[in-house]
């Protein structure tokens, strides 16, 4: 199935690969790509939340 989405390759060590696979199976993603995209999305949301909280704490002073 062709897609117009940008693509790139990421190399990971065996431990990280297994963690991605575990996440994939636990959350029932059909493909490794779907699981990886979700992990990236979750990570970016967490970073944004962390930055927002940091900025709110700094402005309270």
DSSP 31-53: SHHHHHHHHHHHHHHHHHHHHHH
Of 26, 23, 52, residue with least CA distance to 38: 23
pLDDT per position as a tens digit, 17-43: 999 999 999 999 999 999 999 999 999
Please tell me the pTM assigned to this model: 0.81
- Look at residue 45 and tell me whether its pLDDT is greater than 90: yes
């Amino acid at each position: 199935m062709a897609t117009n989405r940008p693509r790139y390759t990421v190399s990971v060590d065996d431990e990280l690969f297994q963690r991605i696979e575990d996440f994939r199976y636990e959350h029932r993603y059909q493909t490794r790509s779907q699981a990886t995209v979700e992990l990236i999305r979750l990570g970016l949301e967490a970073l944004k939340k962390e930055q927002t909280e940091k900025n709110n704490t700094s402005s309270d002073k």
